[in-house]
Amino acid sequence: MSYVIAEPCIGTKDTACVDACPVDCIHPKKDESKYEASEMIFIDPIECIDCGACVPVCPVSAIFAKDDLPEKWNQFEPRNDVYYLVDALEQKFGAVPDAVRQRAEASTVEAINAWRARVPKAATMDEVFR
């Protein structure tokens, strides 16, 4: 079980959680190119070690264990996962078409994470989504 950043982070983007994370799994950081364009920050569900160090330092109480995520913010689990899928695709293949982003945003957490797992071995973006 990892942690999820939810709605209270939108527009806040306080990075105390980034500094508290011992495994560098919260992005984008202030010095990363995606920081300004992003309305919030995200926890990588694969890299997160479930330590919870980020939770008490969040000034807006936006971080929850997946199992404790309030129902009204359930959409933030796939939103966190989509951020890291798109990031992996961009690192491997360059710009990600809007249609790919939209497909990921409309998908289940399981599908998003399965696609992300395929990225390292895929020769093309199409191979990721087969």
The mean pLDDT of the chain is 95
Residue 1 predicted with pLDDT over 80: no
3-state secondary structure of 4: strand
- What architecture is domain 1-70? 2-Layer Sandwich (3.30)
How far CA 129 is from CA of 76, 89, 99, 113, in Å, comes to 22, 11, 12, 11
**Which residue has tokens 């306080």?**
14
Please report, rounded to a whole number, the percentage of residues in the chain having pLDDT higher than 90: 98
Instruction: Please state the rounded mean pLDDT for residues 116-130.
Output: 96
To 5 degrees, how large is the angle CA 16–CA 82–CA 124? 130
DSSP character at residue 57: T
Burial class of residue 85 (count of CB atoms within 10 Å of its CB; 0-12, 13-18, 19+):
buried
Q: Provide the pLDDT for residue 101.
A: 94
Q: Provide the pLDDT for residue 81.
A: 95
What is the tens place of the pLDDT at every residue in 24-41?
A: 999 999 999 999 999 999
Are 45 and 113 contacting, i.e. CB atoms less than 8 angstroms apart?
yes
Q: Provide the pLDDT for residue 72.
A: 97
Q: Provide the pLDDT for residue 95.
A: 96
Q: What are the domain boundaries of the chain?
A: 1-70, 75-130
What is the tens place of the pLDDT at every residue in 40-95?
A: 999 999 999 999 999 999 999 999 999 999 999 999 999 999 999 999 999 999 99
